[in-house]
Structure 1
Amino acid sequence: MNKILIGTIGAVALGLSAPASAADLAARPYTKAPPPMVATIYDWSGFYIGINGGWGSSRNCWDFVTPVTGTLINDGCHNATGGTIGGQVGYRWQSANWVFGVEGQGNWADFSGRNTSPTAPGQENRTRVDAFGLITGQIGYAWNNVLVYVKGGGAVVDDRYDLRIAPGFVGAGTTFGSASGTRWGGTVGAGVEFGFAPNWSVGFEYDHIFLGTRNVDFTLGGVFVQTERVRQDVDLALIRLNYRWGGPAIARY
């Protein structure tokens, strides 16, 4: 009888203690879900200013213009080549992946070249390009921080021309006629630009300048010497570094 009573009391005690043990269990901690991943989207919109430098070549073909009749006599062609350095300023705005812009660029140049006339062997023709400027519009397509674009517009080139005594003749290198002036034309180009920081980008650009043909009057001490018809084009290969403001990189989910 006592054994039965003791067993019953133990079972009741065990039943009463079970809920208390469950209540003593620690609550499960709440862990906040991690934020969603953020993708950084490079925005090309904004004003920019930069520097550029590289190489250029001016193709020049000369023809002697015969007085009275105006007949052209071939005086040969040459390339005036050399280095250039300058700067650019512009504005771009981006719509989806398309990027549109306008830009002004000005460069100092040191392009020089010469040839001996095939029809007047004692005459050496020399062309120098001292500066050029471009005013262009742009349209491009961006893959995040990589921009590929084409451009086109107007161009102006500062030229110097000299008639000199050719090597192998008495007085070789002596100038007997000079001319200078600015020539206006058109330009087209293309480039690729890489944004390596929110406001900085570096790129490569190629430009071609069409200057057509014009008559150039040479003088010596203010006295007319002769007229040459000069056909000229210019090719440029430039490395560019730009700083942009007014449109920093943005983040989107």
Structure 2
Amino acid sequence: MKKLLLAGTALTVLFGGSALAADLRRPAYTPPPPVYSWTGFYIGGNLGGAWANGNVNDSLFGLSASSNRSGFIGGGQLGVNYQFSNIVLGAEWDFDWTSLEATGNGRFVPGVGTLQGSANTRWISTLAARFGVVLNNGVLLYGKAGGGWVDNNATVTNLNTGASISASNRNSGWVVGAGVEWAIAGNWSAKLEYDFLKLDDLTFGPGPFRGDTFTASREIQMFKVGLNYRFGSLFGGGYGGSY
């Protein structure tokens, strides 16, 4: 009887130990990370640099001058995204203040004097469609295209007489851009973005003589870093969906 009891105990220990060893060798189950969804409304801020290239042409004398200038840009953005599969479509409006301002070298015009031009851009705003591809969980590569508006002022001054002519208006044009955005924590995301804005020509005058007008053409390049807060999916939840 004792021998049977000892044998049963040995078998129990043997098979129980084998089962325990198998459990120890089996890796613990780890649930997959939640899948980030870009769907929802968002608001954020941005800052960076802007570079403007432009030309001013005089209609009467055929004079032409060009200028390149750079400055600070900063403001905010408001937008909405909708994600299906790994495609993200949306729209974004942004508004930025700028420090773009420049004064050109004076240019002598016989019989008139030395003319000097200056210009500044106070703010830039764009409204564009966004279209992107999710590269992996929480990383979005996107492009954008739409319209842009600026508030600007241009002045031409006769340095000999002190007389000047100027124009201030809100000029428009088209914008294209591209960027990458990362989900960083909860509903927060960070982005890097490049935009190119081509403005319509701005004509102002008359100049020192009847029929004399000035035409300015400009394009602005912008590089910005930004931070967005998304107000959750249109269908609820900060994470969800699959691709």
Given the two structures, how large is their TM-score scaled by the length of structure 1? 0.77
> Which of the residues 154, 167, 183 maps onto 1:179?
167
Q: Which residue of 1 aligns with 2:121?
A: 129
CA distance change for structure 1 residues 94 and 62 in 2, over 3 Å: closer, same or farther?
same
- Does the CA contact (< 8 Å) of 2:171 and 2:200 recur in 1? no
The answer as to 2:240 corresponding to 1:246 is no
- Counterpart CA distance in 2 for 1:218 and 1:204 is 43
2:149 corresponds in structure 1 to 156
**Structure whose alpha-carbon radius of gyration is higher:** 1
Superposition map of 1:113-124 within 5 A: 113-116=102-105, 118=107, 120=109, 122-124=114-116
Indicate the structure with greater strand content.
1
- Structure 1 CA distance, aligned partners of 2:46 and 2:67? 26
Q: Is this contact kept in 1: 2:88–2:133, CA < 8 A?
A: yes
SS in 2 for 1:35: coil
Q: SS state of the match for residue 205, structure 2?
A: strand
Match of 1:122, SS state, is strand
Secondary structure at the aligned position of 1:41 is classed as: coil
Question: What is the identity, as a one-letter code, of the residue corresponding to 2:239?
Answer: A
The root-mean-square deviation of aligned C-alpha atoms, in Å, is 3.0
Alignment of 1:1-253 (within 5 A): 16-21=1-6, 22=8, 28=16, 34-66=28-60, 73-116=62-105, 118=107, 120=109, 122-143=114-135, 144-166=137-159, 176-217=164-205, 227-247=213-233, 248-250=238-240
Q: Distance in 2 between matches of 1:87 and 1:243?
A: 12
Does the 8 Å CA contact 1:75/1:118 hold for their aligned counterparts? no
Q: Cα deviations across residues 62-98 of structure 1 (Å, max 9, x unaligned)? A: 11233xxxxx622311124211110001011112221
**What's the counterpart of residue 4 of structure 1?**
none
Structure 1, residues 15-36: CA drift from partner, whole Å, max 9, x if none? x333444279579488697334
**Cα deviation, residue 41, structure 1:** 2.4
**The residue matched to 1:73 in structure 2 has which SS?**
coil
Say if 1:203 and 1:241, in contact at 8 Å, map to a contact too: yes
- For residues 80-120 of structure 1, the C-alpha deviation after alignment (integer angstroms, 9 at most, x for no partner) is 42111100010111122211111110111110112235563
- How many corresponding residue pairs? 224
Cα distance between partner residues in 2 of 1:75 and 1:123: 11
Contact map agreement 1:39 1:251 (CA 8 A) in 2:
no
TM-score for both structures, normalised by structure 2: 0.80
The alpha-carbon distance between structure 1 residues 125 and 147, as it changes in their structure 2 partners (threshold 3 A), is: same
Could you tell me which runs of 5 or more consecutive residues in structure 1 were left unpaired when the two chains were aligned.
1-15, 67-71
CA deviation after TM superposition for structure 1 residue 232, in Å: 1.4
Give the conservation status (yes or no) of the 8 Å contact 1:80–1:128: no
Q: CA deviation at 1:225?
A: 10
Question: Any idea what SS the aligned residue of 2:63 has?
Answer: strand
Paired residues of 1:38 and 1:251 also in contact (CA < 8 A): no
- Structure 2: segments with no counterpart, 5+ residues: none
Measure, in 2, the Cα distance between the counterparts of 1:249 and 1:198: 9
Q: Structure 2 vs 1, CA of residues 175 and 233 (structure 1 numbering), >3 Å: closer, same or farther?
A: farther
Secondary structure in structure 1 of the residue aligned to 2:72: strand
